[in-house]
């Protein structure tokens, strides 16, 4: 991990706790992406999150905890199973959706009967959560529908003066949002992430698969999300050369590749090669999309990564990023 905790980390944590206690919001690094954090028990704070993000109130937010034992305050759960999952995956990039306790604010659950919880792995997040002592609601710290932030500067650029404090935890190690596992009925994955279906199936001792909704999603119907403002399209490796040659000469466009053999050269091309390791690709993807998006290009092409299990979560995000608005 490339965290620069800095000399004044203790001061900043204290300041963050003060802001959270006052119902204000703080930019919080996690190992997945940066979060826009607010006191999950404070209605005004949670409303502020939705307002700042421009997010519809029906979209629930994840409650972040320092310690999995705190789950009992938020959710009704089989604590033996939770302990097994926690041993393997927490702190880490897994979110659990569980039946909620009555006391959980409707603003947090989006009016649903369930609540999402997770123990993040970033040392600064854990220090903040431990010092605050209570659950912190934190969606990704981006405006609704846009690319999640993986650096403190992304968060600052997104919200500017509207956010008093962004804890700088360096660049996020995972780079994609957490895996969301729902345990409300039969276990199912609502969002793929670093923790895989295979790993979860093994712990749960039963097959855990992607939710029907995810599996049946036709490309054209996918909700646009995690998206650059520049028109973005996914292109199969073997069609890349042809697609590039179709672009009018003089077109300024970006290209993100994963296969070294596919590196076309052209004037006007901004090329970012992320390589063929899914771990490293995921870590840099959002920063790459953000960088290209700031160059006023006419188009961003992304080479489709291999249809292999290790790329499932990356392909999910790319599909959403390249859906027409
Ligand atoms: O890695 C992450 O999970 C990051 C970091 C900051 O922890 N957070 C994140 O939050 O990605 P957000 O709000 O951008 O995405 C949370 C997702 C949303 O798609 C939301 O619909 C889903 O979690 N979610 C939250 N509560 C839920 C619930 N009770 N039932 C079903 N889905 C839920
Ligand atoms: Mg998000």
Cα separation, 221 vs 210, whole angstroms? 17
For 208-245, write each residue's pLDDT tens digit. 988 877 665 544 445 777 889 999 999 999 999 899 99
Bridge partners for 115 per DSSP: 98
Atom of ligand 1 nearest to the CA of 118: 7
pLDDT band at 1 (very low <50, low <70, confident <90, very high): very low
**Whether pLDDT at 5 is above 60:** no
- How far are the Cα atoms of 98, 130, 142 from residue 39, in angstroms, in the given order? 20, 13, 18
Rg (CA), the chain: 20
pLDDT at 222: 55
For 156-208, write each residue's pLDDT tens digit. 999 999 999 999 999 999 999 999 999 999 999 999 999 999 999 999 999 99
SS3 for 17-31, per residue? HHHHHCCCCEEECCC
Is residue 152 within 8 Å of 52, Cβ to Cβ? no
- Ligand 1 pocket list (CB less than 6 A): 30, 32-33, 35, 59-62, 95, 97, 109, 112, 114-116, 118, 120, 138-140, 177-178, 180, 190
Q: Output the CA torsion sign for 78, 81, 85, 91.
A: positive
**Whether pLDDT at 85 is above 80:** yes
Cα separation, 313 vs 65, whole angstroms? 24
For 25-82, write each residue's pLDDT tens digit. 999 999 999 999 999 999 999 999 999 999 988 899 999 999 999 999 999 999 999 9
Pocket test for ligand 1, best of 52, 62, 66, 114 (most atoms within 8 A of CB): 62
Of the ranges 86-100, 248-262, 265-279, the best mean pLDDT one: 86-100
How many A from CA of 240 to the centre of ligand 1?
33
How many A from CA of 309 to the centre of ligand 2?
22
pLDDT at 57: 87
What is the pTM assigned to this prediction? 0.95
pLDDT at 261: 75
pLDDT band at 262 (very low <50, low <70, confident <90, very high): low
For 279-314, write each residue's pLDDT tens digit. 999 999 999 999 999 999 999 999 999 999 999 999
How many A from CA of 61 to the centre of ligand 1?
5
How many A from CA of 179 to the centre of ligand 1?
9
Range 15-29 average pLDDT:
98
Tokens of 287: 């920063």
**Whether pLDDT at 260 is above 50:** yes
- How far are the Cα atoms of 28, 177, 223 from residue 142, in angstroms, in the given order? 12, 12, 16
Q: Give the number of C-alpha atoms closer than 13 A to the C-alpha of residue 126, restricted to the C-beta side.
A: 12
pLDDT at 215: 63
């Amino acid at each position: 991990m490339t965290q620069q905790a800095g000399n004044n980390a203790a001061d900043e944590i204290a300041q963050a706790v003060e802001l959270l206690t006052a119902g204000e919001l703080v930019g919080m690094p996690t190992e997945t992406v940066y979060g826009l954090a607010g006191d999950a028990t404070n209605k005004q704070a949670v409303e502020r999150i939705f307002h700042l993000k421009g997010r519809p109130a029906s979209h629930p937010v994840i409650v972040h905890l320092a310690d999995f034992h705190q789950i009992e305050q938020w959710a009704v759960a089989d604590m033996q199973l939770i302990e097994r999952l926690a041993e393997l995956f927490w702190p880490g990039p897994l979110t659990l959706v569980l039946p909620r306790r009555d006391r959980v604010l409707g603003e947090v659950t989006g009016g649903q009967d369930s609540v999402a919880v997770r123990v993040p792995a970033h040392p600064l997040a854990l220090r903040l959560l431990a010092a605050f002592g209570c659950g912190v609601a934190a969606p990704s710290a981006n405006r609704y529908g846009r690319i999640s932030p993986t650096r403190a500067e992304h968060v600052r650029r997104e919200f500017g003066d509207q956010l008093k404090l962004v804890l700088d935890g360096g660049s996020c190690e995972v780079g994609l949002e957490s895996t969301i596992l729902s345990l409300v009925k039969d276990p199912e994955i609502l969002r793929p992430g670093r923790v895989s279906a295979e790993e979860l199936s093994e712990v749960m001792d039963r097959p855990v698969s992607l939710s029907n909704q995810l599996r049946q999603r036709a490309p054209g119907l996918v909700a646009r999300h995690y998206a650059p403002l520049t028109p973005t399209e996914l292109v199969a490796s073997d069609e890349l050369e042809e697609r590039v040659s179709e672009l009018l000469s003089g077109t300024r466009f970006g290209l993100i590749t994963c296969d070294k053999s596919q590196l076309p050269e052209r004037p006007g091309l901004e090329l970012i090669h992320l390589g063929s390791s899914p771990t490293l690709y995921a870590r840099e993807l959002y920063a790459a999309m953000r960088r290209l998006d700031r160059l006023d290009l006419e188009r961003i092409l992304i080479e489709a990564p291999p249809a292999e299990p290790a790329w499932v979560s990356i392909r999910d995000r790319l599909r959403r990023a390249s859906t027409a608005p």
